[in-house]
């Protein structure tokens, strides 16, 4: 008898959450397998999948009992000199886009892990433009963000723009919602992602 497919699986793209030097949340103290098991246990226990920015996107909020820190921090007069900017692509083949991030800032430990999920059908669509193995699943983890509350931080404006460009440019194909974009611009004008020091294309800080 064939076992049923897991409801949630990790995509290769989301594995970068465990890689040092990347911008955003770096997962510590829990393996990829254990994180996926925690997601599936939460679903089996009745955890809610929260609607995301499109029908194919959901969020699963897990209480964080690891050393994983938030993936972003508020900008203050004290840490403003630690801001950097430069052009970077998340993976080979994507257009490098302008990003802003902190180096040398210690964000607080996250209270929750916001596990961002895409449907299996959407993963297949995006894999046509950027080939990668699509796991057998109902929902694939595409990113994880450490947060202080069980709420989704606004999607960065540059991510919304990339999505609007479509799968060929690494996006999802969802058009920009001007109200959501305005909220995100307000949030990310006062916050920035955190990363450990590393070189980027054309650092212009």
We report the CATH number of the domain holding residue 107 as: 3.30.2310.50
Q: Does a structural domain hold residue 88? A: yes
Instruction: Give me 96's structure tokens.
Output: 């490098």
What percentage of the chain carries pLDDT values higher than 70? 90
Q: Is pLDDT at 81 greater than 50 in this prediction?
A: yes
What is the per-residue pLDDT for 106?
87
pLDDT mean over 48-68:
95
Q: Is pLDDT at 130 greater than 80 in this prediction?
A: no
Q: Does a structural domain hold residue 1? A: no
Averaged pLDDT score across all residues of the chain:
87
Of 91 and 125, the structure prediction assigns the larger pLDDT to 125
Q: Does a structural domain hold residue 37? A: yes
What is the per-residue pLDDT for 198?
52
What is the per-residue pLDDT for 205?
39
Q: Does a structural domain hold residue 205? A: no
Q: Does a structural domain hold residue 201? A: no
3-state secondary structure the chain: CCCCCCCEEECHHHHHHHCCCCCCCCCCCCCHHHHHHHHHHHHHCCCCCEECCCCCEEEEEEECCCCCECCEEECCCCCHHHEEEEEECCCCCCCCEEEEEECCCCCCECCEEEEEEEEHHHHHHHHHHCCCCCCCCCEEEEEEEEECCCCCCCCCHHHHHHHHHCHHHCCCCCCCCHHHHHHHHHHHHCEEEECCCCCCECCCC
Q: Does a structural domain hold residue 150? A: yes
Q: What is the per-residue burial (b if ≥16 Cβ within 10 Å, else e) of 82-105? A: bebebebebeeebeebebbbbeeb
Q: Does a structural domain hold residue 134? A: yes
pLDDT mean over 148-166:
89
**Please, are residues 190 and 76 in contact by the beta-carbon 8 Å criterion?**
no
Of 2 and 88, the structure prediction assigns the larger pLDDT to 88
Q: Does a structural domain hold residue 81? A: yes
State the pLDDT confidence band at 199, using cuts at 50, 70 and 90: very low
Instruction: Give me 43's structure tokens.
Output: 């679903």
Q: What is the per-residue burial (b if ≥16 Cβ within 10 Å, else e) of 112-130? A: bbbbbbbbbebbebbbeeb
> What tens digit of pLDDT does each residue of 3-52 get?
455 699 999 989 989 986 666 789 999 999 999 999 999 999 999 999 99
Residue 112: domain span: 8-194
pLDDT mean over 183-188:
95
The number of distinct structural domains making up the chain is 1
């Amino acid at each position: 008898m064939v076992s049923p497919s897991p409801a949630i699986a990790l995509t290769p793209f989301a594995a970068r959450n465990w890689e040092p030097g990347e911008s955003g949340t770096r997962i510590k103290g829990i393996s990829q397998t254990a994180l996926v098991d925690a997601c599936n246990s939460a679903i089996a226990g009745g955890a809610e999948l929260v609607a995301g920015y499109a029908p194919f996107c959901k969020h699963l909020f897990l209480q964080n009992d690891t050393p994983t820190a938030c993936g972003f921090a508020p900008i203050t007069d004290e840490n403003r000199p630690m801001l950097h900017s430069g052009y970077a692509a998340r993976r080979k083949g994507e257009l490098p886009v302008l990003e802003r991030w902190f180096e040398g800032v210690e964000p607080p430990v996250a209270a929750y892990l916001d596990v961002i999920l895409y449907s299996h059908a959407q993963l297949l669509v995006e894999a046509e433009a950027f080939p990668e193995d699509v796991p057998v699943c109902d929902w694939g983890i595409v990113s994880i963000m450490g947060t202080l509350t069980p709420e989704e931080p606004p999607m960065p404006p540059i991510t919304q723009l990339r999505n609007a460009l479509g799968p060929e440019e690494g996006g999802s194909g969802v058009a920009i919602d001007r109200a959501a974009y305005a909220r995100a611009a307000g949030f990310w004008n006062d916050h920035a992602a955190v990363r450990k020091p590393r070189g980027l294309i054309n650092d212009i800080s």
